Amino acid sequence: MFFYNFSESDGENMTVFVTGGAGFIGSNFIFYMVKKHPDYRIVCIDKLTYAGNLSTLEPVLNNENFRFVKLDICNREEIFKLFEEEAPSIVVNFAAESHVDRSIEDPGIFLKTNILGTQTLMDACRKYGIKRYHQVSTDEVYGDLPLDRPDMFFTEETPIHTSSPYSASKASADLLVQAYHRTFGLPITISRCSNNYGPYHFPEKLIPLMIANALNDKPLPVYGEGLNIRDWLYVEDHCKAIDMIIHDGKVGEVYNIGGHNEKTNIYIVKKILELLGKSEDLITFVTDRKGHDLRYAIDPAKIKRDLGWEPDTMFDDGIVKTVNWYLENREWWETIINGEYQNYYEKMYGNR
Ligand code: NAD
Ligand code: TYD
């Protein structure tokens, strides 16, 4: 099996493929990497689905060590061509359909992108060689925990037990990634993180949706009684963890990423209203999500012990930073809500 240790001198020859880099976490990861490793070449591959927003990447688009390629990770021929051309050392796969509610409405695209897209990328890695393939997964592959057992947490040993078509597709991809390691010796790592929040979060997910609706004085739709619990991770802490895993993580291993920031949904919604000085009368309880997972909670002991990772931002600070970011970057989310962001690619690349 092929094990590789990175050294300082790798920097100038290092090309990193970041798939899904026009989305929420991928774009934050690109900004993190450009700052932390300015000598790395970063190639972002993104299909620009409804969730991809190229304008987010505007600050790096003209950076000479950065390239954007509009491409579906399921497009085997073009993906293989790009591997041949760019010879990446590392692939970090963020590209996915990521919204649970959409997976309940229409599971098909989740299976295609999240499973078959992962296969395509790994087949290219096998053919052209790679130092590391990293799969960005989720704690949702472990299913959920009961609300009345605060002593229970997801560890890397917790059995896979999925609830939604989204989590089932992510779990399937994880199993395939592990199979490619065992069968073909592909040098992989997997990270499973809890719910992220922070800048550039698409306003269909809980926190940005509630901020945008509150600012527009629209109702805040809380599923069920709002008692479900999520374990919130500030996106930059997630990026820091992935950077550590791709450089120092052990090939073949899974790392859970989370910082013990469990909150009920209703707590978060009320906190956002309080920070924005809006009335709780905006809260509207709506029909619960089908199969709604009760509680997610990560035990991050392994990544802390093995790689020294710890989160820098706890929820009470992170939510203030996030609300302020949405206040200061109104145009970013307003162009999403009015649909204009989808014209950005044509405007930038239409005549190139
Ligand atoms: P996102 O929906 O904001 O972004 C996904 C990106 O992938 C978009 O830019 C989209 O255009 C791109 N994409 C989708 N299908 C594609 C395809 N076929 N080919 C190329 N690009 C494609 O998602 P996110 O919240 O940034 O999540 C990124 C990754 O992290 C996902 O794999 C997700 O499962 C995982 N994850 C997210 C969270 C979270 O809280 N957001 C938590 C745990 C794990
Ligand atoms: P979401 O942001 O969709 O992330 P995930 O389902 O992957 O955890 O939802 C977070 C929690 O917020 C989840 O328990 C569902 C709930 N929720 C609402 O109550 N109202 C909403 O409008 C949304 C989008 C989510």
**Which stretches in the chain have pLDDT values below 70?**
1-12, 351-352
**Residue 203 CB–ligand 2 contact under 6 Å:** no
For residues 57 and 29, is the Cβ–Cβ distance under 8 A?
A: no
Of all protein residues, whose CA lies closest to atom 4 belonging to ligand 2? 205
Tell me how far apart the alpha carbons of residues 187 and 132 are, in angstroms, rounded to a whole number.
Answer: 5
Q: What is the pLDDT of residue 3?
A: 43
Report residue 84 as tokens: 């041949």
Give the global pTM. Answer: 0.97
**Residue 20 CB–ligand 1 contact under 6 Å:** yes
Question: Count of CB atoms within 10 A of residue 177's CB?
Answer: 25
Q: Hey, what amino acid is at 218?
A: K
Tell me how far apart the alpha carbons of residues 247 and 255 are, in angstroms, rounded to a whole number.
Answer: 13
For residues 194 and 206, is the Cβ–Cβ distance under 8 A?
A: no
**Containing H/E element for 116?**
none
Q: What is the pLDDT of residue 80?
A: 98
Q: What is the pLDDT of residue 35?
A: 98
**Containing H/E element for 187?**
none
- C-alpha of 81 from chain center: 25
**Residue 137 CB–ligand 2 contact under 6 Å:** no
Atom of ligand 2 nearest to the CA of 230: 8
- Residues annotated as part of the active site: 139-140, 166
The three-state secondary structure class of 147 is coil
**Residue 206 CB–ligand 2 contact under 6 Å:** yes
For residues 7 and 79, is the Cβ–Cβ distance under 8 A?
A: no
Atom of ligand 2 nearest to the CA of 207: 2
Q: What is the pLDDT of residue 13?
A: 81
